[in-house]
Every structure is written in C-alpha cells, then in structure tokens.
Amino acid sequence: MRLQPVILSGGSGTRLWPLSRETYPKQFLALASLQTMLQETAARLDGLAAEHPQHGIAVADPILVCNEAHRFLVAEQLLEIERRAGAIILEPVRRNTAPALTLAALAATRDGDDPVLIAMPADHVISEPAAFRQRVAEGGMLASAGAVITFGILPSGPETGFGYILKGAPMGSDGPAFVLERFVEKPSQDTAVGYVASGAYLWNSGIFVLTARRWLELIERYRPDIALACQRAMAGARADLDFCRLDAEAFRTCPSDSIDYAVMEPLSAQAAGDVLVLPLDAGWSDVGGWSALWELSERDILGNVIRGDVFVHEARDNLIHAQGRMVAAVAVDNLIVIETPDAVLVADKRRSQDVKAVTGYLKGERRQEAETHRKVHRPWGSYEPVDAGERHQVKRLTVKPGASLSLQMHHHRAEHWIVVRGTARVTCDGTVFLVAENQSTYIPLGKPHRLENPGYIPLELIEVQSGSYLGEDDIVRFEDRYNRNAEA
C-alpha cells in the first residue's frame, strides 16, 4: 500500500494571537514541543512501515498545500528537520480544505498512481504518535478496499467548540471501525453533555483517509464546480523553485468549502456503510485557543504554564508567556498573559475564544499587529524595526549563511549598513567588496545594490534608512534567487 500524506497548512493566525499572526499562523510555532506544529505533522508517520510490516506500507514524501505567502516558511521548516516534500502547492487565495485536498489528489494521480491519501491539518497536536500510526495503518487498509475513513476523537468532556460524529454499528465482529451515521454541528453545552454521556458521539478530527481517485470521484459528484476550478488551476500550474504555482485566475473562481460540508456530510447521508469512523485516542488537540494550550502543557505545582522570563507569586492556573520582556504575575488566577515585542494579551482563561474580538478590531483598523510580528521573516533571514522617525528608520537584519538579498535599488531612500556579526559581501553600483564586523558602508539613493552572507554563521547588521519615503514597496528588483516581484 502506498500512503500519500497530505498536509493542509492553511490558517489565518487569529485564535492564538499575538503569538500567531496572519503571516505567521500557529502551525509555524513551537507550542507543544521543540519542533513547530508543521514539523511535528511532517514527522508524524515516521516508523509506520516498520511498525506494521504485515501491511506492506510505503509512505511517500508529503504533499503540502499552503498559502502562497507562507511558501518560504514551509520550505525552511521542512529543511530544518531534513524533510523533502513530494510537492508544495501554493494557493493564491484561501479556499478552505475541499479545494486543497482536490489539488493534492490531482498532484498524486498525475503519473497514473492512485495512492491512499491521509489528509492532516498542519496545526494539530498528537501526543501519542504510535497510537495514531496504528489507526492510520488500519484506516489505510480499509481505504485500499474502497472505504472512506475519518478519525473521531474520544471526547474528554462536553466540548462545545468541536463538531461531533455519531457512530453507528461496528463494521464486522471485532473490527475497529464503525459506520458513520452523521456529522453534527457544534452543540450547546447541554447537548454536548448528552452526547458525551451517550458514548455514541466522537469529536470530528478533520483527518481523512481515502484513495486519491475516490476523492476526485466524490468531489466531482457533489461539488463539480470545485473539481472543475481545481482541474483548470492545476492544468495551468507552473514550477517555481521547489513550489507548484497554480493558475491564479482559474483558482480564484473556485468556491470555498470544507471537506466535511462539500463531500463527507452528503456522502454519509446517502451511502450507509460506505463512510467509516475510526475512534482515535492518541492525545489529540487542535490547539484551538489559549485554554487548549494550557490543557496540554506541563504545569507547575500551582497549575501555571510558564514560558520565558516570568515570575509568579501566589498565582494559580495561569498561562504566562514572555517573549521579549520580564513578566510578573502576583495573586492572579486563571489568566492568559501573552507578551510579545509589539503586543500584550491579558484574558480570562475561560474566555480565551474571545481573542477573535481583538483580531477583528485590529483588522478593522488595518493595524499591522493583525498581520505581522515586529520581527518579519524573509526567505533570506529576517528584519526587525528598532527605531523610526519622519525621515529615518533603523532595522536589525539577520541574513542566513549562504543567503542573499536581491539585486535592487530604491528611488526614495539611502541606506547605511553597520556589520555587528559575521562578514557581508556587498555589491554597490557594480563594485563588490567585503564588510567585516565593526565596519560599515553607505548605499546611495538610486544605486543598484545587493547584500550577501558568504560565511557559515548568521550575518547580523544594523541598517539605517534615510529619505523622503521609507515604505517596503520602494524597491526595484533586477535579480532575485527567490523569484519575488514586489516583496521585500
């Protein structure tokens, strides 16, 4: 059996604000371990073939579907854990999980293959991966025989933030799977209590297993408009470095819908015994808010989850995260306190879902705190503002070893570069020279220039910009190894 992992790396970065932002959503954060959630997802099937040799499983390199703006984050995080992708498909606009899985299925069948797909969101935590792999092996065999599989999470309580699955009769006398009777929307508190007490309901995990051709047949049956738009987008796709760029105009015509709504719900209503649910008890969490992160994190003797430079005194059951400054909490209980260099969140832990009110306000005011962190990641490294005035701006730049900014020029600003660590190779108006630690150079307005790190350690420098306009869009690129146009 050839198993094709599909990692769905969407997300808008709202529920875990301010750590998560639109340009840096939660799957790129290391929340539950030293690895990011995306990296954990990419490694989640490690050992599957060895643990279940009787099934003859071959696990392919994952296909990732992500927002175009996140492409370099995805590629870099895979590189950090020495992983290769079967494909990284870039969505020019968000269109939910049904189109994303359709794109992955089209890519998986392009050479005439029909692998078993396992669609996994990139932003889930599974603390018992061996138990997860056991269910994947069982689900893969059922899917190979034509079934459509979803995983249902054994509920730990009457959660109102999840959809539910009603399981029916078991398939066979001793098999692990059950007929999926129906999907149920997020319930009220009283209804959720009844669901859990009945023992017949499971949380909807959003993880699905089925063959690629089966998915394509189902999406064409229930949502031919999605199928057609994705086919056209893939037909016009082109390679860009390690990425697959869709035909943007074709994909923009694609309706937005989830796997559940587009296919699973109508299929389960019409095909008794064709859609199966496998109960999963593997320490699953979708980390849907700060309270969920508190639940799955290691706590001190008073129930506090503490990260960073934090002092607590007579405080209980708090989640306190300090990223840039020291945070002290005295005689407070059940709080979420998240400090970042440009924003601080203080919330009642029982109301952590209301963080969406903050992100809604920020977006309405068009404030950058909704979209980006103070530290902005680029494919060559990162930059962070230090100071700004009417005609000047100071940034701290970090350039990765071997990386290079584009050959570019600016119409409205000049730049001074002061190297504080490493050695820079600078091109300015056709002249190439090195700038070592504690040395500086000047880039006049209007002169083509490039900054490179030829060394083996990160290059750190202070950039002082001065001029009449200091926006990131004041850039003309002549050459760029990352194939960018108007991005910084």
DSSP assignments along 148-191, one per residue: EEEEEEPPSS--SSS-EEEEEEESSSS-S-EEEEEEEPPPPHHH
Tens digits of per-residue pLDDT, 402-423?
999 999 999 999 999 999 999 9
To which H or E segment does residue 9 belong? strand 2-9
> Average pLDDT, stretch 162-189?
86
Query: In 3-state terms, what secondary structure has residue 150?
Result: strand
pLDDT at 14: 85
Judge whether residue 313 has pLDDT over 70.
yes
Q: What is the pLDDT of residue 118?
A: 98
pLDDT at 449 over 80: yes
In the predicted structure, residue 4 carries a pLDDT above the cut 60: yes
Contacts of 334 (CB under 8 A, 6+ apart): 316, 317, 318, 348, 349, 350
Please give the average per-residue pLDDT across 453-480, as a whole number: 94
Helix (H, G, I), strand (E, B) or coil at 167: strand
**What pLDDT was estimated at residue 169?**
86
Strands 305-307 and 319-322, sheet pairing? parallel
Tokens of 286: 């979708």
Go through the domains of the chain in sequence order and give each one's CATH number: 2-285 (3.90.550.10), 290-364 (no CATH), 376-479 (2.60.120.10)
Q: Read off the pLDDT of residues 174-183 as tens digits, 9 standing for 90 and up.
A: 778 999 988 8
pLDDT given at position 173: 65
For residue 283, the number of C-alpha atoms closer than 13 Å in the C-beta half-sphere is 14
Q: Is the dihedral of CA 53, 130, 259, 370 positive or negative?
A: negative
The residues pairing with 239 across neighbouring beta strands, listed in sequence order, are 244
Share of the chain above pLDDT 70, in %: 98
Looking at residues 438-459, what average pLDDT do you find? 97
Reported as a pLDDT band with limits 50, 70 and 90, residue 272 is low
Q: Is the pLDDT of residue 363 over 80?
A: yes
Residues 13-36: what's their mean pLDDT? 92
Residue range 201-235, pLDDT digits in tens? 999 999 999 999 999 999 999 999 999 999 999 99
Pull the structure tokens for residue 207: 């993880």
How high is the pLDDT of residue 488? 42
Q: Any residues with CB less than 8 A from the CB of 269 and at least 6 apart, and which?
A: 182
Query: What's the average model confidence in pLDDT over 85-93?
Result: 96
Strand runs labelled E in 33-177: 58-59, 63-67, 87-91, 116-121, 125-126, 148-153, 164-170
pLDDT at 259 over 80: yes
**Is the pLDDT assigned to residue 485 strictly greater than 80?**
no
Mean pLDDT of 344-366: 94
What distance in Å separates the CA atoms of residue 320 and residue 335, rounded to the nearest whole number? Answer: 8
Cα 178 from Cα 398, distance rounded (Å): 53
pLDDT of residue 28: 95
Nearest to 112 by CA among 2, 227, 256: 2
pTM, two decimals, is 0.92
Give the count of alpha carbons within 13 A of 319, CB side only: 21
- For residue 429, give both structure tokens: 């108006």
pLDDT greater than 60 at residue 486 = no
